[in-house]
């Protein structure tokens, strides 16, 4: 039987490049509704037993809108914002008695299809992995983290573009930033990561290094379309996403 799962949505960011310092990034509208609404509606459609939205910048506006979408959504506050790993750490208290899996979504990735998310969850349940990464193949993967696999196809690394060797840069399988974890292992790993990097932030991807050091299995589910995985960081990207939504061409 499949375990219950909770969904944690990262929605604390400022959106510096959106050119409006008074508005939370996830509250920018896409085809008539804020980006965060798409992600919350996805979590609900997936039948998450818990939905926790991690809020930060301009959180009052985000909370007010999400409560209108669904009163079942819970909130955790990330203040200050110290990276993706730090965001998920804020969900530890609300989930302290939860033993299922944790699906991690991003409030600024609003085009993910329910089918792709369901495929990720199903694959995770059959993989016997502590974590499963949603990935996609890109002909031009420049700028994205690459998924590294061994000869048997097992995931053995994630390397960022700036750190990749010339051979690794030829890898076309990219990390979407969407994951599902065993909750106990996730929070165990988060307690072992640090912010000793140029940005002084806690990166969620650092938990994978901990998993591999503990000889724990990490899986990856390939198959999502790139358009579903578009993160929205600029007004230009928002306009492109709107074109995809209005054209019903997000697959």
User: In the structure, what pLDDT confidence band is assigned to residue 2 with cuts at 50, 70 and 90?
Assistant: low
Residues 6+ apart with CB under 8 A from 85: 190, 193, 201, 202, 203, 204, 205, 206, 207
Q: Per residue in 157-178, pLDDT tens?
A: 999 888 899 999 999 999 999 9
DSSP 133: E
Q: Is the pLDDT of residue 113 over 50?
A: yes
User: Average pLDDT of 29-33?
Assistant: 95
| Domains and their CATH numbers in the chain | 5-129+178-215+224-246 (3.90.550.10)
pLDDT for residue 152: 87
User: In the structure, what pLDDT confidence band is assigned to residue 251 with cuts at 50, 70 and 90?
Assistant: very low
Whether 50 is catalytic: no
pLDDT for residue 20: 86
Q: How far apart are CA 224 and CA 231, in angstroms?
A: 14
Q: How far apart are CA 244 and CA 31, in angstroms?
A: 10
pLDDT for residue 248: 64
Q: How far apart are CA 242 and CA 210, in angstroms?
A: 38
Each as own residue / partner, the long-range contacts of residues 233-239 (CB below 8 Å, 24 or more positions apart, any chain) are 233/15, 233/17, 233/18, 233/25, 233/108, 234/17, 234/18, 235/17, 235/18, 235/19, 238/18, 238/28, 238/30
pLDDT for residue 223: 84
Q: How far apart are CA 236 and CA 5, in angstroms?
A: 34
pLDDT for residue 21: 84
Q: Per residue in 204-222, pLDDT tens?
A: 999 999 999 999 999 999 9
Q: Is the pLDDT of residue 250 over 80?
A: no
pLDDT for residue 224: 81
Q: Per residue in 238-248, pLDDT tens?
A: 999 999 998 86
Q: Is the pLDDT of residue 151 over 80?
A: yes
Q: Is the pLDDT of residue 105 over 80?
A: yes
Q: Model's pTM, two decimal places? A: 0.95
Closest to 132 measured CA to CA, from 185, 178, 90 = 178
DSSP 78: -
User: In the structure, what pLDDT confidence band is assigned to residue 1 with cuts at 50, 70 and 90?
Assistant: very low
User: Average pLDDT of 133-154?
Assistant: 93
């Amino acid at each position: 039987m499949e375990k219950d799962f909770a969904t944690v949505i990262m929605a604390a960011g400022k959106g510096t490049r959106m050119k409006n310092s008074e508005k939370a990034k996830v509250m920018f509208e896409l085809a008539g509704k804020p980006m965060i609404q798409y992600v919350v509606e996805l979590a609900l459609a997936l039948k998450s037993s818990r939905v926790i939205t991690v809020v930060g910048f301009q959180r009052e506006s985000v909370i007010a809108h999400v409560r209108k979408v669904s009163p079942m959504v819970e909130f955790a506050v990330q203040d200050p914002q110290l990276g993706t790993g730090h965001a998920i750490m804020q969900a530890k208290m609300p989930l302290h008695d939860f033993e299922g899996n944790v699906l991690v979504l991003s409030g600024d990735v609003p085009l993910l299809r329910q089918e792709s998310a369901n495929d990720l969850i199903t694959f995770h349940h059959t993989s016997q992995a502590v974590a499963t990464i949603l990935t996609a193949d890109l002909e031009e993967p420049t700028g994205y983290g690459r998924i590294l696999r061994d000869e048997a196809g097992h995931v053995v690394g994630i390397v960022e573009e700036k750190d990749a060797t010339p051979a690794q840069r030829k890898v076309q399988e990219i990390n979407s930033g969407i994951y599902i974890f065993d909750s106990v292992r996730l929070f165990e790993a988060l307690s072992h990561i640090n912010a000793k990097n140029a940005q002084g932030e806690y990166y969620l991807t650092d938990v994978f290094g901990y998993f591999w050091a503990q000889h724990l299995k990490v899986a990856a589910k390939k198959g999502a379309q790139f358009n579903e995985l578009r993160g929205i960081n600029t007004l230009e990207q928002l306009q492109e996403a709107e074109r995809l939504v209005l054209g019903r061409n997000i697959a």
